[in-house]
Amino acid sequence: MPSYRYSIIGIDPDRTAIASGRNMRCSPKFSREVCKAIKGMMLDKAIDYLEAVIEEKAWVPYRRHKKKRGHHSGMKKWPSGGHPVKPAQMILKIVRNAEANADNKGLDIDRLRVMHAAAHRGRTYKAFIERAFGRSSPYFENTTHVEIVLEEVA
């Protein structure tokens, strides 16, 4: 049993399936934008969307972390966005894991909706690169915690 908890409380365990990824080596900022984009989608539509983002055919709108991002003509309703491939790949694995958990529980796969998708900043792996004249530069790597909750809609 994991020692961590989920950020969502009060869900019905008979109608929901949950999955999470901890300390994933991808950007927490881009992971937040991907989770915001798939929240509320039906499961099959969310999987298709994430696969299209990985193939760089679909855009993810950057709503919060958008400074100095270019405007793209491919964006529909939001001017700035991008193709965060690495977070999309990792979130797709978690969505497929949540789908398998729902299937194991006996939920109807065709009626599943992404009820909750959240990304939180994980631990930072700290390292230093040696430089000239006895100096060093930080070389830190951010990680991300992602939570996915699927709900069976009536």
Tokens at residue 115, please?
A: 């009820």
Each of the 154 residues of the chain gets a pLDDT tens digit; together they read 678 888 999 999 999 999 999 999 999 999 999 999 999 999 999 999 999 999 999 999 999 988 888 888 878 788 889 999 999 999 999 999 999 999 999 999 999 999 999 999 999 999 999 999 999 999 999 999 999 999 999 8
- Percent of the chain residues past pLDDT 70, beyond the cut: 99
* Helix (H) or strand (E) segment spanning residue 105: helix 85-105
**Residue 82 to residue 70: CA distance in whole angstroms:** 9
Domains of the chain: 16-152 (3.90.470.10)
pLDDT per residue as tens digits for the range 55-89: 999 999 999 988 888 888 878 788 889 999 999 99
**Within a 10 A sphere around the Cβ of 96, how many other Cβ atoms?**
15
DSSP assigned state of 75: -
What does the buried/exposed string (b/e) look like for 52-73 if buried means 16 or more CB atoms within 10 Å of the residue's CB?
Answer: ebbeeebbbbbeeebeeeeeee
